[in-house]
Structure 1
Amino acid sequence: MSNQYYKFNEKMQIKDPLRVFFLCGSAFTKNDPNDKRNVLKSYIESLNINYKVIILEEHFVFGKMRSGYLSYDHIFMKNLKDIELLTGLFSDKIIILHESISTAAELGMFSSNKDLFKKTCILTPDYFAVEEEKVSNFIRLAFLNSRTPEESVKRITYYPKTNKNIVSNVRTEYHTYFPQNKIKGNLALNINSFIMKDYKEVFEITFKKQKFSKAYTDDSIISYNYNKSELNLNFPIKIIRILLVTIFSLDEFRVKIRSSIAIKDAVSALEDEFKSILKNTLSEIEATDFKNHKLIIGIKDNNIPFRNVIGYFLYTLQAIGMVKLPSDKSKKFIISPIFKILYDNNLIKQIKPSKFTGLL
């Protein structure tokens, strides 16, 4: 591999081609074409080639890795709450198919983070169709309150096809489906409106030195500060996702990560490359050599260790079909040809040789 050095641009005009949608909620059956999440996934991904949907149960399990699934244990993710929060942070929108107490708990969990809450929507069946109001008074007053619209979550009601399941003389359960297994009419319009709400096709990212060691809250700013031994950076999670995707545009890096024979090797390859480029970037901005500084990366409003974030990012890439991670059956890291659509950009530049860069 050639000994070349790269940096991110200090200010970057970005047209992010990748949009990720997280579908969670009601019970999921992977191979059932009637399953509402399968139907909604097909609809969303049909809208645009760069729209990708994540359904956790479709790809991931706890414990030992099974055929066709990745294990959270391989990237040290033991807690479903952290997994769902991190998936939500990596996603552009979250849609909860709300029909039970457990899905209400997911709504409560996402509401604890304002960045997640504002991009969350609940999809609920019509009251008369299922003879039951799925939205409790607490949810209505806490999350759908018209008196505080800025703190309310989007609700979309649909009119389902139902199957009755008579449990007893006094209780009937309804299994709900989208009519004809299609998203159309007002439901399609409402989902499309939610998907496009607050969407910015082009936005700017910039590195900015912190004042008084306090990170900036703006989602377009990468905050940083440093001392004699440490370099600290604080990232909004969406920027992390964009910059990690960008690294795959480097020919040398693709060669390196393709040589990974285990998931941990792929995680280390991406983590090392990202940190190296960040040090080069800040060295150029500050005219200071940070090669021997300890790099500490924080994620805005989240305490998940950065290596776990890298691991889960690679899991996400596999879930949306961009890469294939090494496994016991295949000791190869495979990059899909269609991934180039997402990582072909100009956010990284090669550092030209100079007296200063020769120190890096």
Structure 2
Amino acid sequence: MTAGKPLIALDAMGGDGGPAMTVAGAARVAARDPNIRFILFGDEGLIAAEVARHKALGPCVEIVHAPDVISGEDRPSQAIRRTKTTSMGMAILAVKEGRADAAVSAGNTGALMAMSKLALRTMAGIDRPALAGILPTLGKHNLVMLDLGANTECDARNLAQFAVMGAAYSKIVIGVDLPRVRLLNIGSEEMKGTDTIRDAAQLLREAEHLHLSFEGFIESDRLGRGEADVIVTDGFSGNIALKTVEGTARFVTDLLRRAFTSSFRSKMGFLLSKPALHLLRVHLDPNNYNGAVFLGLNGLVVKSHGGANPHGMANAIGVAKKLAAERIADRIAEDLAQIATKAAA
């Protein structure tokens, strides 16, 4: 990365909003940081038309035409064969070739994971990459959760490695010195859960040299209580938990909206409660926490929610920018090297 001038590769065709949403998000970031630069991959004509709407983007954008697009229905195996011709694949290759500091896409998660893993390869000491994201809590700060969908099946070793990567990530995005790590389980008692989860817990308890504080199991109804900094699980359970949290947030806001419009008295109550409801909406809006990162790769790839608005896309780009500046891959590698040294000693 050029000092103070991050370069982000954007899959402009990914997500529900396509180029309009991606370019608008990039424009928001450029308005705050005039040093940032972008390479936009996708349909050159569509992208250029959107860029023309945002004056802040003119000097900092390069458009590279991509003749093909990965759809939401494409299987990872199909996507891999089109890495060199699709907007998603070309953005990832820009990172591999050193032309960009990070890639951001709101497209097909499975395809993004498969192409990223093949192009960038997994870091030494890591068996599988994991998708990590931020969830809001009632505590002093938010939490990191992984895996959110990259690996549907994991063994105990995978989960222990996720804990190491999640701890390194939380130090950057949350700012905690000794992250409190917990494994997602069906109960907090030591005998609960599968053999894999219990074995992972044993590995983490015995690894006193890790740069984290392992504090046992946590149930899904405690996710938002601020009782952990990092929550580790397999991608199957993690994705279900994430979608449940997002769905519950929408349910609560929709229920309140319906309740406050049911009568004249409730509408008056809405006016009195409007500041508090606005705070609630901001706290529950997934766009404010958008931007999950694939940890464990030799390069930085950030996944934006497919339905993100420009504010959400800007947040995902902000995550990529911050992690590139903080050298997240190098910091994970340093932690792994120290762990290996201490384990050998």
TM-score band w.r.t. shorter chain: under 0.3
For normalisation by structure 1, the TM-score amounts to 0.26
* Greater fraction of residues in strand: 1
Q: Which of 1 and 2 has greater Rg? A: 1
For normalisation by structure 2, the TM-score amounts to 0.27
